[in-house]
């Protein structure tokens, strides 16, 4: 029985019937979600990922231009058709902030120590990789501008990575004139 219906001795009462008509559509969505989860769990047991948690999430942030940015994170990627894609590495939740003179990135990497961390900066892309016995993370971020890689600083504490990337002088002047 679904959680929104109350069972009486004679019949089920649908508290939303007056608002939405029938709950048939919600029941169909619930069945579809149940089928998808059963499929993911069955495929997970058949593969070598079975002992790792399945994580799928989205982060919605408002860009400086007023346009919302939707980003997926986790090790399960939804697809328009077919089964979801399950990865061995989990994509960490990361926050990229552009400030007047720098770009700041914060990423959550639980269960990782600093020695397991690998950062690569090339052009306007930053790659974050980390792997321990229990966890594996990978994420590639597109930077909004050119940064000075030689002045990059990072701190890592309790699974939280903070990266500070000063902008190149040309990027700072360009942003100020816009």
Residue finishing a domain among 46, 62, 81: 46
Residues 142 and 108: their CA atoms lie apart, in Å, by 17
* In a shared domain, residues 121 and 135: yes
pLDDT of residue 49: 46
pLDDT of residue 1: 43
List average pLDDT for each run of 10 residues in the chain, which is 178 residues long: 48 55 66 73 53 72 77 71 73 89 94 93 92 90 91 94 89 55
* In a shared domain, residues 122 and 160: yes
Query: Which residues form the domain of 120?
Result: 47-177
* In a shared domain, residues 7 and 57: no
* In a shared domain, residues 41 and 51: no
Cβ–Cβ < 8 Å for 175, 100: yes
Residue 99 sits in a domain whose CATH number is: 2.60.40.790
* In a shared domain, residues 63 and 113: yes
* In a shared domain, residues 21 and 55: no
Residues 148 and 172: their CA atoms lie apart, in Å, by 11
The number of angstroms, rounded, from the C-alpha of 17 to the middle of its chain's C-alpha atoms is: 35
pLDDT of residue 73: 78
pLDDT of residue 61: 76
Residue 1, SS3 per DSSP: coil
* In a shared domain, residues 140 and 172: yes
Residue appearing with tokens 């649908």: 14
Residue appearing with tokens 């400086």: 64
pLDDT of residue 27: 76
Q: Which of 45, 93, 54, 94 is nearest to 77 (CA)?
A: 54
Task: Write the DSSP string, 89-127.
Answer: EEEPPEEEEE-SSEEEEEEE-TT--GGGEEEEEETTEEE
* In a shared domain, residues 95 and 160: yes
* In a shared domain, residues 137 and 66: yes
pLDDT of residue 68: 81
* In a shared domain, residues 134 and 65: yes
Residues 26 and 4: their CA atoms lie apart, in Å, by 10
* In a shared domain, residues 88 and 9: no
CA distances from 23 to 15, 35, 100 (A): 10, 18, 50
CA distances from 53 to 90, 137, 169, 172 (A): 10, 13, 43, 42
* In a shared domain, residues 57 and 37: no
pLDDT of residue 5: 47
Number of domains in the chain: 2
Sign of CA dihedral 161, 162, 166, 167: positive
Residues 151 and 90: their CA atoms lie apart, in Å, by 28
């Amino acid at each position: 029985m679904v959680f929104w219906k109350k069972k009486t001795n004679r019949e089920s009462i649908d508290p939303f019937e007056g608002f939405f008509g029938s709950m048939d559509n919600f029941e169909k969505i619930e069945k579809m979600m149940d089928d998808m989860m059963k499929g993911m769990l069955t495929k997970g047991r058949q593969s070598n990922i079975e002992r790792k948690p399945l994580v799928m999430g989205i982060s919605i942030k408002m860009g400086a231009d007023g346009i919302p940015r939707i980003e997926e994170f986790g090790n399960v990627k939804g697809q328009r058709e077919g089964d979801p894609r399950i990865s061995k590495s989990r994509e960490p939740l990361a926050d990229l902030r552009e400030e007047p003179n720098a770009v700041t990135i914060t990423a959550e990497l639980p269960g990782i120590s600093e020695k397991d961390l690998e950062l690569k900066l090339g052009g306007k892309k930053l790659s974050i990789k980390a792997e321990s016995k229990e966890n594996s993370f990978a994420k590639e971020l597109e930077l909004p501008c050119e940064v000075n890689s030689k002045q990059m600083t990072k701190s890592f504490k309790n699974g939280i990575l903070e990266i500070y990337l000063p902008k190149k002088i040309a990027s700072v002047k360009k942003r100020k004139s816009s």
